[in-house]
Amino acid sequence: ESLSETLTLFYPLAGRIKDHLSIDCNDEGAYYVEARVNRPLRELLNLTDSPYVSQLLPAEPTWTATTAGGYIAMIQVTTFACGGIAIGAFLSHVIADGPAATKFISSWAALTRKCGEEAPCPNFDASRLPTECGIPQGGDPFSTVQPVVSALLSKCIKATFKAKSDIQKSTLITHTVNLRQRARPQIPNHSMGNFLCLAAALVTAKETELDNLVCHLRKEIRKIDADLITALQGDGGLLKYCEYMKEIGKGTNDNIDIILFSSWCNFGLYEIDFGWGKPTWVTCATESKSEIGMVNTIVLMDTKMGNGVEASTGVLGGAAHGYARAKPGATCVWHLGSESIKFENGLICLRWYIHKTKQ
């Protein structure tokens, strides 16, 4: 019932894919399935890198575009023998990026609790975005922690590239950036759609020092500012964005390695409460059994305690990938000064924690 109420507010999610740029709001509903597991939830939480985690999802993860007539939203609710519950959700990127998807889940949770609080009403109309900013300004909307984590991981991954091949290659490091807080006026957090842009830093094979990598990333991230967003919104904005992406694409050739980062930090995923408490563990689907995903793609997420960052990837090219696949129980550890990173359990799931300090 609460899911139906939520889909009434987020009505495009009850529609179907029309083409790669549009959807049909025909109110046919979302895909929903329930499952039961005759084992306690704690057993699964002890095997978080297990392929069994994918069975909590309503379908197999895919990197290919959804065909016409496909679902916008797919949900699976799994109940365990101990009474624990896991919720797996797929939302089409045609209509929602990470913050928008989180808003849908948190609104569903609020309606499930029925605690009297009003579920936030999403905004689907770009023309109705505020023309005057009533949102407090100031502060860097992109955490200072995320570029540091990304730079450290890039340093470690560059080491695997070097171990795999004697050819010295430059590396293109890309990072998704949420445009909502960078726009002037700011775009409301409950706005549905894809308010993302890619920042890209090209570093040479000799640039391996952590501080240099951090500076490169921060410099490119800061270029995505209010002026750039305003230019993209104006006349010829789509053409300008295509030109921007074309410049990034120049780095995608055989002589350059690519590392892609997507940050889910500060989404508030661990604050979502359906009425039985906040989640014990939140993760994202990064691997598919039937197809090759986006190689060297890493997703950053907050840890449960909120004092660290967890990084995960399903596909990683290089020596570590071959080693872990050949020895499923093996763990590879790179020690780079005081920094280390593990490739474990044959699934190439990276975890690295950095303690946040108050800004």
Catalytic residue among 24, 49, 190, 273: 273
Catalytic residue among 24, 49, 93, 190: 93
Residue type, 118: E
User: For residues 101 and 262, what is the distance between their CA atoms, to the nearest angstrom?
Assistant: 14
Annotation says 273 is catalytic:
yes
Encode 214-242: b = buried (16+ Cβ within 10 Å), e = exposed: bebbbebbeebeeebbeebeeeeeeeeee
Q: CA nearest 88: which of 132, 167, 31, 27?
A: 31
Residues known to be catalytic? 93, 273
